[in-house]
Structure 1
């Protein structure tokens, strides 16, 4: 699709008389460190889809134009995860991964309602308590109640079932006949449900870090994260350089976890981004939060041996610094939207949770206690009756999984693929949550969207994917 920058563009939807006026804009990440040229606009949609004449909210929409003069007619719509991450922010920070695709296809970005610039449902965090853990489980539940009371909109209308209707309204308003979809993590749930609702409007799907429709996220979180951490300990033990540097790595971690559980430490330092002096309580909550986020990705998981050893030696500043670094990446997460989705689509369907199994993990039972406690106060929103039914489709679908994914393990993709007759499953060795930044996956995505026969996709590069080398000092991996 070509745009005339001087005049802007009115894309009309004849069925609903909706329009999006697009004009040149710069998409930016946090603190303006990255920018992407795009065409941006807004689309007004009903807050409550059952009251089309009632209150409206505006969806923020951006289109990154294809580089080709005559691009393919079907764009790629990018759906972010979370729940609560804005598609525009996600794209800016991962733009390079889509460089092959944007050569020949427009990229459509819609900040899902409740995220980014689409009536975001935000909850503020304290800069000296990045994980909001100072009050324990009760404190986090209380913070969520305060967030709920301060929201500008009724969270019952901020769910996956409503989000897919929004995406369809945007497609119509932009005038595309069909779209391809890329969804990551929670975004795979949105992508699958969009395909279920509007099958004729989907050409192909790429699902990265797959959430099966019939799986409630929550009960597996602690178990999958423990499995990823155990794999890292095993890998260090089997690596001569790592074993020599950290012969008691797992025991060091358990010692530190117990120490910070019984005797938290207060650390005074300058905030690594703002420079403001802050006093931070270093406790087991912080350790668990940092480790959980670091094992998401192989590049950050590789830092854990050095970090654990440093903390074991009493260097708590290293942990605090990592806490601020990893939480900066999620500060833009719309926690209110996250709660709205989880309390509607996950927690009510968790069934009997094996708390004994969770208690044996480094995370313990706290994660489930927190989300269940939060959802006792949050209202359940709109949910289609078939949202949680297994998806059945003959559309070509590429499913990407990291071998060590601590939140959506490869078995989830296997489960989701049962009813998908043209599914291609790829598992990246040694990879974590989301394969987007793996070059092989980037190549596969681009070729999958371009080739006539998706089943003939060349998967040779998958065998060449290698784990990220473990750090054995602050200088990096060993020789």
Structure 2
């Protein structure tokens, strides 16, 4: 297991180790600690040794890898009919076999529960009786797993942007669809009150719905490439902008798409499936059969989210569309769910309600309008923890709450350093969103920002 340490900048004030649980799944903890000043406050860096590691199956720790040539053949995660669904399942089975062959036996043992045992081995190697832990996004699942299995070895644990590991397929898809739609609604409200928004004064919801209809008929073009976008591409690109959030960028991108003209038939572009940026050209087959790390085996071994046929998938997609009438789905939910449709391995770490018996309560923090880990999940986890959890709500948008404002930093730092809990119902006001000069449109040749790590870029 690849491990790195950034020593406390003030050795005389050092408290001990703080293990950094990165998101994804599939992001490198070693890389995150190399840029720790972007993820943790100066006071935390002064008081703690920051410990990062690449968990099993990731980056420098025997990564789970698959053939690029096969990944380039991915069918749609939202097939239109039973034939398309069968093609997706067939692809998944070929992918599982391919990745097992390239990765070896570890492929079937990369679940988060197993990683929690690795963290405790790391604790022992450090010579520490207890550790402090900060986890963000998918890293909150690791924190929960460690607290359940090793409650007496937790000094303090802060979980930012919280996964709820108790939900089934319908709730998983519906809750995330509700979260991304709520985040979009916040963008629409901001645009309505902000003169610099490229869509200010227009009915943004109606404009977006029209873009969706154009995408469905093949009439939506990305001027940056002169090629068409599917409705799923539009939803994915929007999700990427909401992650930050980058509301000015989203407004400019949508304005540019609205001004675009229909692509020619020969220029029409099919959606790049999961694993590519939303407005990048669809990948062609690579020249050689090189391999790439992929996070899906972690997810498939942590979650049982069955989708047994196209009729069932269609019901879930209809439910998501009812929940998210503008964006229709959460790509961050649909893509991993469909990577695991037909999963033929064990789910070593299946969903369940939390059972935590730590001596110190856990601190949870979550954005109210998070597009990826909805605030509802943080509330659910706080409820499961009972007296062993305390939630701070950041009353704003975006994924990741800790470094948003002095208020959010203060709550997390006081807890990690002094183990002082905030009051019940603690909340922090939203920071003012970024404002850019008013523009007529944005150059769509620059791709929307990538969203979750299924496109390899986010925590």
* Distance of 1:64 and 1:471 partners within structure 2: 39
Cα distance, 1:428–1:267 mapped onto 2, change above 3 Å: closer
Q: Deviations over 1:33-70 (max 9, x none)?
A: xxxxxxxxxxxxxxxxxxxxxxxxxx111111111223
1:148 maps onto 2:96 in alignment: yes
- Following superposition of structure 1 onto structure 2, how do residues 133-172 of structure 1 map, counting pairs within 5 Å? 137=79, 138=84, 144-151=92-99, 152-154=103-105, 155-172=107-124
Conserved 8 A contact 1:100-1:443? no
| Structure 2 match to 1:12 | none
| Structure 1 match to 2:401 | 435
The 3-state SS of whatever aligns with 2:364 is strand
1:257 maps onto 2:212 in alignment: yes
- Following superposition of structure 1 onto structure 2, how do residues 99-118 of structure 1 map, counting pairs within 5 Å? 99-118=42-61
Conserved 8 A contact 1:212-1:390? no
Structure 1 residue 135: Cα displacement: 8.7
Structure 1 residue 143: Cα displacement: 5.4
User: Aligned-residue CA RMSD in angstroms?
Assistant: 4.1
Cα distance, 1:93–1:72 mapped onto 2, change above 3 Å: closer
Conserved 8 A contact 1:77-1:182? yes
Aligned residues: 399
Conserved 8 A contact 1:428-1:465? no
- Unaligned 5+ segments in structure 1 are 1-58, 271-278, 328-333
| Structure 2 match to 1:203 | 155
Structure 1 residue 287: Cα displacement: 1.4
| Structure 1 match to 2:278 | 323
Cα distance, 1:386–1:280 mapped onto 2, change above 3 Å: closer
| Structure 2 match to 1:17 | none
The 3-state SS of whatever aligns with 1:403 is strand
Conserved 8 A contact 1:76-1:179? yes
* Distance of 1:417 and 1:119 partners within structure 2: 34
Structure 1 residue 454: Cα displacement: 0.8
Per chain length, whose mean CA-contact separation is higher, i.e. which structure has more relative contact order (CA < 8 Å, sep 6+)? 2
| Structure 2 match to 1:307 | 253
Conserved 8 A contact 2:198-2:248? no
| Structure 1 match to 2:268 | none
* Distance of 2:389 and 2:354 partners within structure 1: 18
Structure 1 residue 290: Cα displacement: 0.9
| Structure 2 match to 1:297 | 244
1:402 maps onto 2:367 in alignment: yes
Structure 1 residue 231: Cα displacement: 2.4
Q: Deviations over 1:19-40 (max 9, x none)?
A: xxxxxxxxxxxxxxxxxxxxxx
| Structure 2 match to 1:175 | 127
* Distance of 1:376 and 1:475 partners within structure 2: 40
Q: Deviations over 1:193-234 (max 9, x none)?
A: 101101111111111011133134434222321221122213
* Distance of 2:427 and 2:149 partners within structure 1: 34
Q: Deviations over 1:144-199 (max 9, x none)?
A: 44442332134321101111011111111121221111111111111011011011
**Structure 1 length-normalised TM:** 0.71
* Distance of 1:265 and 1:304 partners within structure 2: 16
**Structure 2 length-normalised TM:** 0.73
Cα distance, 1:311–1:464 mapped onto 2, change above 3 Å: closer
Report the structure, 1 or 2, having the larger strand content.
Answer: 1
Structure 1 residue 92: Cα displacement: 3.9
Cα distance, 1:133–1:297 mapped onto 2, change above 3 Å: farther
Q: Deviations over 1:353-392 (max 9, x none)?
A: 7543313334446957655543233334352578544545
Cα distance, 1:112–1:474 mapped onto 2, change above 3 Å: farther
Structure 1 residue 405: Cα displacement: 0.4
Cα distance, 1:366–1:232 mapped onto 2, change above 3 Å: closer
- Unaligned 5+ segments in structure 2 are 264-270, 283-291, 443-459
